[in-house]
Amino acid sequence: MASLNKQQKRAKRAKAKAKQIRMVGRKPLAQDDDLGHLAEPIPEYTLAMFSKMRDAEAVSRNEMLLTLLRELAFIIVDHPDLLDMENAENEGMAATHLAADMLIDYRMWADGMDRETAQAWLSEPQFISDFGIALDTYGQSVETQEEKSE
């Protein structure tokens, strides 16, 4: 697992990039890539994360986003190949893209939304603001853990 310092740096980079790119600035998927949310089986680790996110969303959107960020940090450590470094300037941007893709897939899984509706949900100003707050909170929790471990 990556050190807490490295996780903190990643979280800060992801936050900075999230503010810059406003999720709608991403490249659209090729037509052949959008085969529907059930076209491919969802990996077990993703289903586990989605279940935790759904439980957390019952509390609040912020709790759901924090759950996503915590779980995604562990998934990236176990599956670094999920980061699409070819279409990102750096690891932080790749992590932000992965988080956005996971949120779209989550919305499709949890609510049966189509991809376009889920992408529109991500681009709402209130959601973008909530995501920034969750990134701040996550970064602070990583800092706190790092201080305790010293």
- What does the mean pLDDT of the chain come to? 79
The per-residue pLDDT for 11 is 67
d(CA 54, CA 36): 20
| Helix (H) or strand (E) segment spanning residue 118 | helix 115-122
| Ranges of residues in the chain whose predicted pLDDT is under 70 | 1-2, 4, 6-8, 11-40, 150
| Model pTM score | 0.69
